[in-house]
Amino acid sequence: MNREPILRRRIKLLTWLFIIGLALSGATAIPLQGELSLMVNFCGSNGESSELAH
């Protein structure tokens, strides 16, 4: 009984699942507008750049 084809399919499947997982985690790492607004409010920024604030 040759297990090589079964192992190759499993490795291929797990590799694709890992790649998809990396892509999804990268997509969710992009900050959303709501998260950015919350951070701006928390830091107390009023929307001016550092040059204009001086």
pTM: 0.51
pLDDT in tens, 8-49: 999 999 999 999 998 888 777 777 787 778 878 888 766 665
Residue 13's identity, in one-letter code, is: L
Distance CA 26, CA 9 (A): 26
pLDDT at 48: 62
Give the residue carrying structure tokens 């409010």.
41
Reported as type and span, the H/E element at residue 17 is: helix 4-27
